[in-house]
Structure 1
Amino acid sequence: MGRTNEPPRLPGGGFAAWSRDRLAVARRGADECGDVWQLEPGVYVAATAGACEAVLRRAQDFPKAPSPLFPPLKGSNEAPTAEERAHAHAARMRGLRAQAVAARVGEIAPGAALFAARWPTDRDVEVLPAARHALAEIGVRYLFSEDAPALLPFAARLFLAREVLVRPSRWEWPRWVPTPARRFRTRQQAAFTDALRPVVRRRRASGRLGDDVLGQMLQPSSRYGALPEEAVLDTLPGITVATFEAPTRAAGWILLHLARHPEAADRVAAEAASLPADPAATTSTHLDDLRYTRALVHEVLRLHPPSWLLTRRTAQRTQLAGYTVEAGSTVLVCPYTAHRDAREHPEPDRFRPERWLDGPDAPANPGAFLSFGTGPHGCEGAALAMATLTLLTAHTARCHRLSEPPGPEPGYRVTTFEGLATDGLRLRATPRAPGQPRPR
């Protein structure tokens, strides 16, 4: 392959500037350098929709780095093989695909309604802890059904271990160094696995495997038979945390936009009036009827993708957007700037949920929506996240009008280290219709 020029360097855009304001440098790199730009030697940023999609879809050229949330526990004599992990993934996806989620909407909606019902009114409340708790209850119940209450405390400690591990630090320790944060993660992972193991054994012994995600993983396949116990347990800590980690970041942005755009919130509330009084009676038809609410969620995720930066490593020398990228290079895929590509989204900085509805404003290329990734490593839980966030948005707007605390300064900090989040966000809820029965 003949060598062409390298991607351009952004003047004054090295790691020092990046560490001070990553979003601003990312925007400047996309504006001044185009599709791909060089942050430092061997580190490139895919900035526009076409370049980002190319990296994510070409998994052979740009494989995903093996960095699971929770690596396999050491000391097991029966570590799953690559084939068993692939089978476990396929079994897990049977419970997470769009059809499976649609069939269980009535199990998701009560948690979304309860989040709105629990919100204290007429005082400023920190949003993210309450949203995280509600989303964890929904996610853990979706995975483990009636066993969820016993597992929820362990899931909460898994999240805490994850948070401690990813906090910014002055030192980047090698993966093999047993830092206190890594030891804490291992202890919480082992505790979760120890709590889940008797659930797996009880279900198998009774023959009542369940129709939740765990049940799908316990179903024998005609090709592989039953998965070994360790293969079932191996990735469940990671998927458990994933059901509420990024959705919590997304929920913060969504609730902030409901506060900042009261006309849009009114439209969501009007749409949500069609939801049944008993949230458990919610069906996929009710969810499908929340067209504007879903469009609002899409638009917020376009503007503020919770996973705004994805990392890939080039497996071999290759071409990207007309540039040569050497083997072993790091490529940072930036949905945040890709979603602001005016060729894909007219008026890209403007909040316009209508662009996701049918009509002339609909995106020309739906693949330009990268908040859940795309290609072989797209988010497993995309359908579950969209259903949960749509129902959470609808029930909140149905019950409350949201507002920000008064004052010139925003009531939150934008954080970008592990994901794009509204750290410390505080909002006030005022009952939308006094005297209206609230969901139980």
Structure 2
Amino acid sequence: MLPAMSAWTGTSARGDLMGRMNEPPRLPEGSFAAWSRDRLALARRGADECGDVWQLEPGTYVVATAGPCEEVLHRAQDFPKPPSPLFPPLKRADSAPTPEEHSHARAARMRGLRPQAVAARIGEIAPGTARFADQWPAGRDVEILPVVRPVLAEVGVRYLFSEDAPALLPFAWQLFVARELLVRPSRWVWPRWVPTSARRFRTRQQVAFTNALRPIVRRRRSSGRLGDDALGHMLRPSSRYGLLPEEAVLDTLPGITVATFETPSRAAGWIMLHLARYPRAADRIAAEASSLPTDPAATTSTHLDSLPYTQALVREVLRLHPPSWLLTRRATQQTRLADYTIDAGSTVLVCPYTAHRDAREHSEPDRFRPERWLDDSGSPAKPGVFLAFGTGPHGCEGAALAMAMLTLLTAQIARRYHLSEPPGPEPSYQVTTFEGLATAGLRLRATVRG
């Protein structure tokens, strides 16, 4: 951690101290061009050859190992998360919510996503995952991501909006389409104020989603039936800041609506690939899943707790292939990290992908071994050990929901099927790293268990 500076009496002394520190090492032949060609390989090479922190290009640093990654994510004032450009608040002529109101809205939204809230609603999450397993077209190769994403979208949107989910699901899907257009790799990086076709499409979909959600908010408030879902939590007055303005509620929901299914879908691809490649692990999950109730709606948090190996496998896949494998932060001031100087204004890339392969934290770090999470030493709460959902003030607020969705989906699939990859020497998918780690084009075949 950053040592205390109480012994230094002025900013000049502090600056002298910083000035005497070394910059992080530069990876030979490292550059943005090399990075764009193979991000994962360069990230591994940087961690192996340079250690905790290394310099990609002047002003851009990669934090590669567990301890420094944990430190950056917790030091939110020194390394704040840049504002997301994907779904910014809509511009309005008047009645625009203040930054403080947006902050209160995010806090209210998180109340509906905390672990206790998710645990109370497992019976609403389980039916969607079981329905996906029931409807899998067995006996033929199926491309995974296009079939799992709509299922998880339905589960996620229903968690947020309960009985109003069917009316909002088409608009949520269009928000996802807009997101995909925005994050698509391009030769040109346009300033945020340039109204590109993708940004205009995004704005139209945000407006459509907001227009569909607004009457739902007004109906719930006027009737007094706010609901027990995530939206209901946002509509309840708080003792700290009272009733949230309608526009603050509406502004803060597009991003989390897409996030409830976009990131878990990427994770689901990796999980199903591992079920196909490790049949003994899949058999163990199938045996564990036999304890789930016949009626998925009767599933409770107790049933979820009875799936420790399934949860361990999900966690191990997320360790090896974190969907959000690279997190961007920006240094607000010159500071110290892992005995190196980080200049103010620098871009700091936190890399859970390499942190999860830190041999100081995980024995045999490249080996797939779910059992490590069942050992006494395999606690995900240990600093730096598990960063698939981030950590600190900006850790993923949907982590509990994602883990519940993925655990139940894994259990239901393994309970019903053996999975296998198509025959052939080449993998049936392509690893993509832009805006997340995914198995693009992954195809698998399901065979009904005897």
Shorter-chain TM-score bucket reads over 0.9
Q: Provide the rounded CA distance (Å) in 1 between the counterparts of 2:241 and 2:57.
A: 46
Pair 229,358 (structure 1): closer, same or farther in 2 beyond 3 Å: same
1:66 corresponds to which residue? 83
Q: CA deviation at 1:173?
A: 0.2
Matched, 1:242 2:259: yes
Matched, 1:163 2:180: yes
1:315 corresponds to which residue? 332
Q: CA deviation at 1:118?
A: 1.1
Q: Provide the rounded CA distance (Å) in 1 between the counterparts of 2:122 and 2:229.
A: 12
Instruction: State whether residues 344 and 365 of structure 1, in contact with CA within 8 Å, keep that contact through their aligned partners in structure 2.
Output: no
Q: 1:288 aligns with which of 285, 305, 313?
A: 305
Q: CA deviation at 1:352?
A: 0.2
Q: For residue 123 of structure 2, what is the amino acid of its counterpart?
A: G
Q: Give ranges in structure 2 of 5+ residues lacking alignment.
A: 1-13
Matched, 1:349 2:349: no
Q: 1:121 aligns with which of 108, 122, 138?
A: 138
Q: CA deviation at 1:223?
A: 2.8
Matches within 5 A, 1:31-180: 31-180=48-197
2:10 corresponds to which residue? none
Matched, 1:231 2:231: no
Q: CA deviation at 1:68?
A: 4.3
Instruction: State whether residues 344 and 363 of structure 1, in contact with CA within 8 Å, keep that contact through their aligned partners in structure 2.
Output: no
- TM-score, structure 1 length as denominator? 0.97
Q: For residue 259 of structure 1, what is the amino acid of its counterpart?
A: A
Instruction: State whether residues 344 and 364 of structure 1, in contact with CA within 8 Å, keep that contact through their aligned partners in structure 2.
Output: no
1:194 corresponds to which residue? 211
Instruction: State whether residues 345 and 363 of structure 1, in contact with CA within 8 Å, keep that contact through their aligned partners in structure 2.
Output: no
Give the RMSD, CA atoms, in angstroms: 1.1
Q: Give ranges in structure 1 of 5+ residues lacking alignment.
A: 434-440
Instruction: State whether residues 317 and 325 of structure 1, in contact with CA within 8 Å, keep that contact through their aligned partners in structure 2.
Output: yes
Instruction: State whether residues 122 and 428 of structure 1, in contact with CA within 8 Å, keep that contact through their aligned partners in structure 2.
Output: yes
1:430 corresponds to which residue? 447
Matched, 1:332 2:354: no
Matched, 1:20 2:37: yes
Deviations 1:345-393 (A, max 9, x none): 0000000000000345667935420000001100010000001100000
Q: 1:181 aligns with which of 198, 202, 207?
A: 198
Structure 1 window deviating more from structure 2 (345-354 vs 64-73): it is 64-73
Q: For residue 217 of structure 2, what is the amino acid of its counterpart?
A: V
2:409 corresponds to which residue? 392
- TM-score, structure 2 length as denominator? 0.95
Number of corresponding residues = 433
Q: CA deviation at 1:76?
A: 4.6
Of all paired residues, the percent bearing the same amino acid is: 80
Q: For residue 340 of structure 1, what is the amino acid of its counterpart?
A: R
Instruction: State whether residues 264 and 406 of structure 2, in contact with CA within 8 Å, keep that contact through their aligned partners in structure 1.
Output: yes
Instruction: State whether residues 61 and 347 of structure 2, in contact with CA within 8 Å, keep that contact through their aligned partners in structure 1.
Output: yes
Deviations 1:23-56 (A, max 9, x none): 0000000000000000000000000001111110
Instruction: State whether residues 116 and 399 of structure 1, in contact with CA within 8 Å, keep that contact through their aligned partners in structure 2.
Output: yes
Instruction: State whether residues 128 and 424 of structure 1, in contact with CA within 8 Å, keep that contact through their aligned partners in structure 2.
Output: yes
Q: CA deviation at 1:308?
A: 0.3
* DSSP 3-state at the match of 2:112: helix
Instruction: State whether residues 70 and 383 of structure 2, in contact with CA within 8 Å, keep that contact through their aligned partners in structure 1.
Output: no
